[in-house]
């Protein structure tokens, strides 16, 4: 139950909740210090250490999840750029004083430029895919 509650909180909320709980436990410990046995105090310390450990684990998972989300978002934006480039029609060059020969050279240049952009976007998406897979594998 505690794990579920902690996983629903933002890092700031988690910090505030843990701080409140720590202060509450410390207050209770001071009030009941004369009534507690040494063993009970050790149990509370262990519980407090466990809570702090869980807090750090949750914060780490939140950070890894945010990283994966950011990587995935960048991947989809890059994939969308690639899709748009692949679906676009090459622009027709304006025929100028160089005539038909110049027009073909300009068209060839545009096609080569588009091909280079496509190759760059493919490499980028491939790298992002690898980064996402690695991040997901590490978060498990």
**Segment 29-52 mean pLDDT:** 69
Q: How far is residue 9's CA from residue 129's CA, in Å, rounded to a whole number? A: 29
Contact 134, 75 (CB under 8 A): no
Higher-pLDDT residue of 8, 122: 122
Contact 2, 48 (CB under 8 A): no
CA distances from 120 to 15, 27, 91, 113, 134 (A): 42, 60, 20, 11, 21
Q: In whole numbers, what is the pLDDT of the chain averaged over residues?
A: 81
Number of H helices, E strands in the chain: 4, 0
Torsion of CA 15, 10, 47, 49, to 10 degrees: -60
- pLDDT tens for each residue of 65-85: 999 999 999 999 999 999 999
- pLDDT tens for each residue of 95-120: 444 555 668 888 899 989 999 999 99
Nearest 5°: phi and psi at 91?
Answer: -75, 145
For residue 32, give the 3-state DSSP assignment.
Answer: coil
Q: How far is residue 90's CA from residue 87's CA, in Å, rounded to a whole number? A: 9
- pLDDT tens for each residue of 11-27: 787 787 778 878 877 87
Q: How far is residue 81's CA from residue 88's CA, in Å, rounded to a whole number? A: 11
- The pTM assigned to this predicted structure is 0.58
């Amino acid at each position: 139950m505690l794990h579920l509650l902690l996983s629903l909180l933002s890092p700031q909320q988690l910090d505030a909740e843990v701080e409140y709980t720590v202060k509450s436990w410390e207050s209770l410990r001071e009030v009941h210090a004369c009534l507690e046995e040494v063993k009970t105090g050790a149990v509370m310390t262990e519980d407090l250490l466990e809570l702090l450990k869980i807090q750090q684990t949750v914060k780490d998972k939140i950070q890894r999840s945010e990283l994966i989300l950011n990587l995935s978002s960048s991947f989809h934006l890059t994939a969308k750029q690639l899709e748009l480039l692949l679906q676009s029609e090459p622009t027709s060059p304006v025929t100028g004083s160089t005539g038909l020969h110049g027009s073909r050279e300009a068209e060839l240049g545009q096609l080569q430029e588009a091909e280079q952009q496509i190759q760059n976007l493919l490499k980028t998406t491939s790298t992002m895919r690898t980064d996402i897979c690695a991040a997901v594998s590490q978060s498990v």
